[in-house]
C-alpha cells in the first residue's frame, strides 16, 4: 500500500504542527472571549478590553491563515498524486491489454474513480481527520469543567449526530454505487446496439431499441438526481447541525442561568467551544464509512498493479541508446489467406507502403506502432511481441523512451482543447524551444508567427478563431514528432494538407532522409517515390514494388 500511495506525501510533522496550532487557537478563543465579557461587565472603560479584543481578532486571523495554508498543501499533494498516478494508470491499462475488467465500457474512468478515492491516503488527509478527532475529548473535558449540564447535552447531541451522519453516509455510498452501475449499464446497452446496428436495421426494431436505451438513460438520470440530493443533504447537514446545537445549548444554558449557575460570558464560551465539535465528528464518521469503499478501491488498484507489474516494474526496462533495428516478426493480417508480414528496418531506411485497401495499411501501421495488432486488438506481450525495437517489444520501454523511439502520425489526428503552445509542447512535456526546432524542420514557423494570437491561439472544440485546415494538420504532425523520434510512421498524414503544407512535408522528408527511419503509408505516388523501398499491401500479403520514381506524377503547381 505504501508503494502505491507514496508519491510526494505531505510531511506528517508539518500537518501535526498545523493541527496542534489551529486546535490550540480554537481552544484559546472562547476563553479569551469570556475574559472580554467578564472584564467588560466589571469595568467597561478599561484599556485591557481593547487588547483582549485585538487578541481575539488576531487569534481568529491566525487560525484562518493556518487552515488556508493547510488546504493549499493538501490540494497540491492531491494534484501531484493524481497527475502522477493518472499517468501510471493510463500506462498500466494500456499494458494490461487483454486483461478482463469488470467495467468493459470505461476501464480507465473506473480506475480513475478508484484513484480519486484513495488519494486521501497519499495526501495524509485521512490522517489529518483522525488527528483532529483526537482533540474532541479535550474540548468535551473543558466543557465539563465549565458546565456538567452543558457537556451532557453536547454528548447526547453528538451521539445522535453520529448516528444520523452514519446512516446518511451509508445512503450516499449506496446511491453513488447505484448511479455508477446505472451509467455503466447505459453505456453497455449503447455499445451493444451500435455493435449490432446492421441486425437492428434488418429486423426493423430501431424504435424498440431506442426505447430500451431511453429507459437505461432515464434510470441513470434518476440515480444521478438521487445522488445529487444525497450529496446536498450531506453538505448542508453540518450547518444545520451547528444551528441545532446552538439552539440546544442556549436552552440548556438558559435553564442553568435561571438557577444562578451561569452568566453570559460562560454561555458564549460554551457555545463557541461546542461549535468546534460538529465538523470534525461528521468528517470522522464520513471517513469511517468510506473506509470500506476506500479499501475496495485500493484493492482494485492493487490487482491492476500486480497484474501488470511484470510488464513494467518486474524487470528494469531496456535502455534505448539509438536505433539498430525495427523488426516485424510474422505479423498476421485479418485476411485468412494472407501471408504474415515480416520486415526488418535499420537506421535511415525510408519505406513506403501503398494499398488499394486503406484500412488494411492503416491497421498494419497501427500494429507497427505497437497500438494494436492487425485484428484491431491490443498486443499481449506475454504471448510474444510481433514488433520489436532493438530486439525488445515496444511495450517494455518506458513512456519517455517510447516517445524517443517512435512517432505515429495518423490521418485523423485532432488537436487538444487549449492553445497551439499547449499542443506543440504536449502541455509542458517539451520546451517551447524544442517545439520550435521541430517546427523549423517542418517549415511552419512563418505560418505560426502570422497568426494574430500567435502560439496562444486557441484550437480544438473551444477555439474562438479559425486556424487554416492545412496549418491544423501541420500542428498535429508537429505534436507527434516534437520528441524527434528515431522511427517516424506516417499513416496517410498528407490528407488534409494544403499546397504550402504539402510542399513543406516533401522538404521535411528530404531533410530527415537518412537520419530517421521513415515508414510511409500513402497512395500518393509523389510521396511514395521519395522512399528507398516500396511495398504494395494486398489481400494476399505484402509485395515489393519496383521503379518507384517512375510512378510519380508531375506536380507542377506545387512550389518547392
pLDDT band of 489, cuts 50, 70, 90: very high
Grade residue 311 by pLDDT with cuts at 50, 70 and 90: low
Is 0.75 surpassed by the pTM of this model? no
Only one residue has cell 504542527, namely 17
Q: What is the pLDDT of residues 493-526, one digit of tens each?
A: 888 888 899 999 999 999 999 899 999 999 888 8
Give the pLDDT confidence of 26-69 residue by residue, as tens digits.
Answer: 777 677 666 666 666 566 666 666 666 677 777 778 877 877 88
**Predicted pLDDT at 350:** 93
C-alpha dihedral sign at 84, 90, 94, 98: positive
Q: Is 49 exposed, middle or buried (0-12, 13-18, 19+ CB in 10 A)?
A: middle
Cβ atoms of 52 and 161 within 8 Å: the answer is no
Least confident of 1-15, 19-33, 198-212, 467-481: 1-15
What is the model's pLDDT at position 334? 59
Residue 51: how many other CB atoms lie within 10 Å: 11
List domains and CATH numbers for the chain. Answer: 2-311 (1.20.1560.10), 326-551 (3.40.50.300)
Alpha-carbon span 560 to 558, nearest angstrom:
6
- Residue 555: is its pLDDT beyond 90? no
What is the C-alpha radius of gyration for the chain, rounded to an integer number of angstroms?
A: 33
Distance CA 453, CA 462 (A): 15
**Rounded to whole angstroms, how far apart are CA atoms 163 and 169?**
10
- Res. 330: pLDDT tops 80: no
Neighbouring C-beta atoms of residue 502, cutoff 10 Å: 21
User: Which pLDDT value is given to residue 360?
Assistant: 79
Say what the pLDDT of residue 465 is.
Answer: 67
Identify the residue with better confidence: 146 or 12.
Answer: 146
| Dist. CA 346–CA 240, nearest whole Å | 71
pLDDT at residue 136 greater than cutoff 90: no
d(CA 523, CA 504): 18
Residue 236 · residue 165 · CB < 8 Å: no
Work out the average pLDDT over 343-359: 87
CA–CA gap between residue 125 and residue 142 (Å, rounded): 27
pLDDT, average across residues 10-20: 68
- Can you give 185-210 as a three-state secondary structure string? HHHHHHHHHHHCHHHHHHHCCHHHHH
Band (385; pLDDT cuts 50, 70, 90)? low
| Of the candidates 316, 342, 345, the residue with the CA atom closest to the CA atom of residue 331 | 342
CA–CA gap between residue 212 and residue 175 (Å, rounded):
22
* DSSP state letters, 468-526: PHHHHHHHHHHHHHTT--SEEEEESTTTT--HHHHHHHHHHHHHHBTTBEEEEE-S-HH
Question: Residues 549, 372: contact at Cβ < 8 Å?
Answer: no
Averaged pLDDT score across all residues of the chain: 77
Q: How many CB atoms lie within 10 A of CB 138?
A: 12
Report d(CA 352, CA 345) in Å as an integer.
12
Query: What number is the average pLDDT over the span 134-161?
Result: 85
What is the secondary structure of 273-332 as a DSSP string? HHTTTHHHHHHHHHHHHHHHHHHHHHHHHHHHHHHHHHHHTSSPPPP--S---EEEEEEP
Amino acid at each position: 500500500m505504501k508503494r502505491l500511495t507514496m508519491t510526494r506525501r505531505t510531511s506528517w510533522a508539518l500537518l501535526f504542527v498545523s493541527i496542534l496550532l489551529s486546535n490550540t487557537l480554537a481552544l484559546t478563543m472562547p476563553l479569551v472571549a469570556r475574559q472580554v465579557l467578564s472584564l467588560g461587565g466589571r469595568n467597561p472603560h478599561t484599556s485591557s478590553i481593547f487588547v483582549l479584543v485585538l487578541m481575539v481578532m488576531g487569534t481568529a486571523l491566525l487560525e484562518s491563515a493556518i487552515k488556508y495554508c493547510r488546504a493549499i498543501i493538501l490540494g497540491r499533494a492531491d494534484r501531484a498524486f493524481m497527475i502522477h498516478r493518472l499517468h501510471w494508470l493510463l500506462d498500466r491499462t494500456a499494458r494490461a491489454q487483454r486483461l478482463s475488467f469488470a467495467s468493459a465500457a470505461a476501464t480507465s474512468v473506473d480506475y480513475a474513480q478508484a484513484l480519486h478515492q484513495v488519494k486521501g491516503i497519499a495526501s495524509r488527509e485521512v490522517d489529518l481527520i483522525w488527528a483532529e478527532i483526537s482533540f474532541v475529548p479535550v474540548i468535551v473535558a473543558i466543557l465539563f469543567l465549565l458546565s456538567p449540564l452543558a457537556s451532557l447535552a453536547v454528548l447526547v447531541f453528538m451521539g445522535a449526530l453520529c448516528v444520523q451522519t452514519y446512516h446518511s453516509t451509508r445512503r450516499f455510498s449506496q446511491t453513488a454505487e447505484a448511479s455508477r452501475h446505472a451509467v455503466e449499464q447505459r453505456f453497455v446497452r449503447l455499445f451493444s446496439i451500435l455493435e449490432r446496428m446492421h441486425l437492428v436495421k434488418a429486423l426493423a426494431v430501431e424504435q424498440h431499441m431506442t426505447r430500451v436505451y431511453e429507459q437505461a438513460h432515464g434510470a441513470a438520470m434518476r440515480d444521478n438526481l438521487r445522488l445529487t440530493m444525497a450529496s446536498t443533504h450531506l453538505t448542508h447537514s453540518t450547518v444545520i447541525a451547528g444551528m441545532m446545537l446552538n439552539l440546544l445549548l442556549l436552552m440548556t444554558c438558559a435553564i442553568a442561568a435561571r438557577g444562578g449557575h451561569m452568566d453570559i460570558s460562560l454561555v458564549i464560551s460554551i457555545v463557541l467551544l461546542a461549535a468546534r465539535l460538529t465538523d470534525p465528528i461528521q468528517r470522522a464518521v464520513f471517513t469511517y464509512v468510506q473506509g470500506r469503499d476506500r479499501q475496495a478501491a485500493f484493492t482494485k488498484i492493487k490487482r491492476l498493479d500486480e497484474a501488470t507489474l511484470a510488464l513494467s516494474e518486474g524487470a528494469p526496462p531496456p535502455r534505448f541508446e539509438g536505433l539498430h533495428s525495427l523488426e516485424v516478426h510474422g505479423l498476421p493480417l485479418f485476411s485468412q489467406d494472407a501471408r504474415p508480414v515480416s520486415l526488418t528496418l535499420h537506421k535511415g531506411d525510408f519505406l513506403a507502403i501503398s494499398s488499394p485497401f486503406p484500412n488494411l495499411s492503416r491497421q498494419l501501421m497501427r500494429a507497427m506502432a505497437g497500438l494494436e495488432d492487425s485484428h484491431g486488438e491490443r498486443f499481449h506481450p506475454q504471448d510474444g511481441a510481433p514488433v520489436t525495437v532493438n530486439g525488445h517489444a515496444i511495450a517494455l520501454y518506458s513512456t519517455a523512451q517510447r516517445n524517443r523511439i517512435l512517432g505515429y502520425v495518423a490521418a485523423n489526428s485532432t488537436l487538444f482543447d487549449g492553445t497551439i503552445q499547449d499542443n506543440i509542447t504536449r502541455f509542458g512535456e517539451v520546451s517551447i524551444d524544442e517545439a520550435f526546432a521541430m517546427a523549423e524542420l517542418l517549415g511552419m514557423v512563418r505560418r505560426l508567427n502570422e497568426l494574430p494570437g500567435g502560439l496562444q491561439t486557441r484550437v480544438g472544440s473551444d477555439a474562438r478563431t479559425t486556424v487554416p485546415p492545412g496549418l491544423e494538420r501541420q500542428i498535429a504532425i508537429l505534436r507527434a514528432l516534437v520528441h524527434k523520434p528515431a522511427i517516424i510512421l506516417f499513416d496517410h498524414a498528407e490528407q488534409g494538407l494544403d499546397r504550402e503544407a504539402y510542399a513543406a512535408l516533401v522538404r521535411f522528408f528530404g531533410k530527415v532522409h537518412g537520419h530517421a527511419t521513415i515508414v510511409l503509408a500513402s497512395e500518393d505516388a509523389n510521396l511514395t517515390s521519395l522512399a528507398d523501398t516500396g511495398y504494395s499491401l494486398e489481400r494476399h500479403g505484402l509485395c515489393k514494388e519496383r521503379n518507384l520514381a517512375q510512378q510519380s506524377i508531375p506536380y507542377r503547381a506545387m512550389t518547392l
